[in-house]
Structure 1
Amino acid sequence: MIKWIAAFIGYYLFRFPGAILGFIVGTFLDNMGGSGNNPRSIFENVTRQSVSPADFELNLLSLCSIIIKADGQVNQRELDYVRQYFLSTYGKEKANAIFRTFNDVIKNREISAQHICNFMVQRTRYEVRLQMLHFLFGIAQSDGQVSKAEIQKLREIAGYFRVNQHDFESIMAMFIKSTDNSYKILEIEKTATDDEVKKAYRKMAKKYHPDRVVTENEAIRNGAEEKFKEVQKAYETIQKERGLS
C-alpha cells in the first residue's frame, strides 16, 4: 500500500521520474513493515535472489569439476567421491541423472570460477558458501592429499566467495594436518588463554551450527554437520591438552 502512496506523491512533485522513485522507496518501506523491522532481513529481502535447487546443483558440480581438474588430471578417486556423495544424499536415480550432467561438465565445458562464484554470492548466505568450500576441500583430499595446485584453486574460489582468510584457514586445517590444527580450526593462536579458547569455541560452534545453513541441498547440509563435528573435536583436543573442564 505504501508503495502506491509514495508513487502518487512522487508523481505529484516530480512527474514520472518521481513516481518511479516513490514506488521504489515505498516498496522498501513495505518490506520493512513485513519483516519485523529486522535490518538484516530487510537487506536480504531487497538484495538476495533465491537460487533454484537445479541451478544450485549445476553450479556446485561446476565448481567440483574445477577442483578435480586443478592439478591437470582427472583422478578417479575424486570422481568416486563426488558420485558417492550424491548417491548417499539423493539416492541412485537422481544421483545418476546429476552425474550424467557432471560428466558433460568435466569433459566438454570451460568454466569460469569467478562467474559461478559471483552468481552464488548474490543468491546464497555466507554460511552456505562456507559449506560449499568445505565440500570442495573434501574432493581435493579424497585421493589422499591436497596438492598445491588444488590449494591455490580453492584459495581463489574462497576469494570469489568473499570468504575471509580466518575462515579459509580454519576449513583448510580440517583437511591438511599440522601440529596446531585444533587452534587453526578455532581461529586462535596456540598462545591463547583458556578463557579465549572457550570463547572461540562458543563463537565457532555458533557460526558453524547446521541450523545456520539455510539451503535445500542435502549435500551442503550434511557438510555443515561434518564441519560442526570438526569444531567440537578441535575443542575436545585442546581440552585434553590443557586439562580444561
Structure 2
Amino acid sequence: MIKWVAAFLGYFVLRFPGAILGFLIGSFLDNLNGGGSRDARTIFREYTQPNVSPADFELNLLSLCSIIIKADGQVSQKELDYVRQYFLSTYGKEKANAIFRTFNEVIKKREISAQRICSYLTQRTRYEVRLQLLHFLFGIAQADGQISKAEVNKLREIAGYLRLGAHDFESIMAMFIKSADNSYKILEIDKNASDDEVKKAYRKMAKKYHPDRVVTEDEAIKRGAEEKFKEVQKAYETIQRERGIS
C-alpha cells in the first residue's frame, strides 16, 4: 500500500521519475512493515551488511567456474555438464537456463581476473564459505575423470587469492586426488601422529567443516559442506579401522 501512495506523491513532485522513485522507496518500506514477500530482517540485512548479494555471488562463481574449465587449455563437455547440473539442482530449470546463458558468455571471454574476483569474495564471505567454494571448483576439475596438473596449479592459485591456508588446500585436494596417506591429509596430520593426535585432529576438522558454520544462501555450497564433513568422518573412520582406535 505504501508504495502506491509514495508513487502518487512522487508523481506530483517530479512527475514520472518521481513516481518511479516513490514506488521503489515505498516498496522498501512495505517490506519493512511486513507487506512484502521477504522478512523485514532479511531486507535490513541486505541493505546494511557488506556481504555479497546472491546475484553478485552467482556472477563471480560463474567466472571462477570458467577459469577452471579453461585451465588445461580445453573446454570439457563433462565439466560444462557438471556446472549446468549444479545450477539446475540449485535454482530449478527456468532460472538455471537463464544463468547458464550468462555462463556461456562468460566462458567465451578471453581474460577474467581470478585475483580480482577472489579479492571481492574474500572481503564479503566467511572463511568457511570460501572453503566450500574451493571444494566445488575441485569438483568441476574432476568431472571429466581426472584433475590435470594445470588445473591443480590454477586451483592452488585461486586458493591463495581466497586467502585459504595451505593445509586446508591440501586437505580438500586429498578428497579428490587419492594417495596412500589420503586420510591423514584430509585430517591435516602426519601419518606418524599418535592416536590422541588423530582424535584431536578429527574434532578440530569436524568443527571447522561442520555445515552449520557455512553461512550462505547458496544451497549447493551448503551441500558441499555436508559432503566435505562426510569426507572428514570417513577419513577418521578409515584411520580408526587401520589402528583399531575405539
Report the alpha carbon displacement of residue 109 of structure 1 after superposing the two structures with TM. 5.0
Report the alpha carbon displacement of residue 108 of structure 1 after superposing the two structures with TM. 3.0
Q: Which residue of 2 aligns with 1:134?
A: 135
How many positions carry a matched residue from both structures?
Answer: 198
**Separation of aligned partners in 1, 2:243 and 2:90:** 38
Q: Which residue of 2 aligns with 1:80?
A: 81
Q: Which residue of 2 aligns with 1:191?
A: 192
Report the alpha carbon displacement of residue 93 of structure 1 after superposing the two structures with TM. 1.0
Report the alpha carbon displacement of residue 145 of structure 1 after superposing the two structures with TM. 0.6
Identity %: 85
**Separation of aligned partners in 2, 1:144 and 1:219:** 21
Aligned residue identity for 2:197: E
Q: Which moved more, 1:83-92 or 1:184-193?
A: 83-92
Report the alpha carbon displacement of residue 50 of structure 1 after superposing the two structures with TM. 1.2
Q: Which residue of 2 aligns with 1:146?
A: 147
Report the TM-score when normalising by structure 1.
0.80
Report the alpha carbon displacement of residue 107 of structure 1 after superposing the two structures with TM. 1.2
Aligned residue identity for 1:222: R
State the SS of the aligned residue for 1:175.
coil
Report the TM-score when normalising by structure 2.
0.79
Q: Which residue of 2 aligns with 1:64?
A: 65
| 2:241 counterpart of 1:243 | no
Where does 1:29-40 land on structure 2 (aligned, <5 Å)?
none
Q: Which residue of 1 aligns with 2:120?
A: 119
**Separation of aligned partners in 2, 1:181 and 1:169:** 10
Q: What root-mean-square deviation, in Å, do the aligned CA atoms of Structure 1 and Structure 2 show?
A: 0.9
**Post-superposition CA distance 1:188-238 (Å, at most 9, x none):** 000000010000000000000000000111111111111001001100110
Moved beyond 3 Å, runs of 4+:
none
**Post-superposition CA distance 1:20-75 (Å, at most 9, x none):** xxxxxxxxxxxxxxxxxxxxxxxxxxxx7111000001101100000000000100
**Separation of aligned partners in 2, 1:118 and 1:178:** 32
- Which ranges of structure 1 fall in alignment gaps of 5 or more residues? 1-47
**Separation of aligned partners in 1, 2:86 and 2:122:** 23
Q: Which residue of 2 aligns with 1:232?
A: 233
Q: Which residue of 2 aligns with 1:104?
A: 105
State the SS of the aligned residue for 2:124.
coil
Q: Which residue of 1 aligns with 2:32?
A: none
